[in-house]
Amino acid sequence: MKKTLLIALSMICLLSVFPQEKKMSIGAGLEWNMDSRQNFAGGIALGFDYQLPANAAIGVNLMGSINFRSMGVIEPIIFIRGYLPQKVDRGFFAQFDTGAFLIIEDNNVIPMPLVGVRTGYRFLLGKSFFVEPYGRLGYPFAFGVGAMGGFRF
Taking only the tens place, the pLDDT of each residue in 82-120 is: 998 766 778 999 999 999 999 999 889 999 999 999 999
Question: Is 127 exposed, middle or buried, given 0-12, 13-18 or 19+ CB atoms closer than 10 A?
Answer: exposed
- The domain made up of 22-152 has a fold known as Porin (2.40.160)
- Position 53 scores a pLDDT of 83
CB 93 within 8 A of CB 83: yes
Q: Average of pLDDT values for 108-133? A: 96
According to DSSP H, which parts of the chain are helical? 2-17
- Position 146 scores a pLDDT of 98
Q: Average of pLDDT values for 27-51? A: 93
Question: What pTM was computed for the model?
Answer: 0.82
Q: Average of pLDDT values for 56-83? A: 94
Mean pLDDT of all residues belonging to the chain: 88
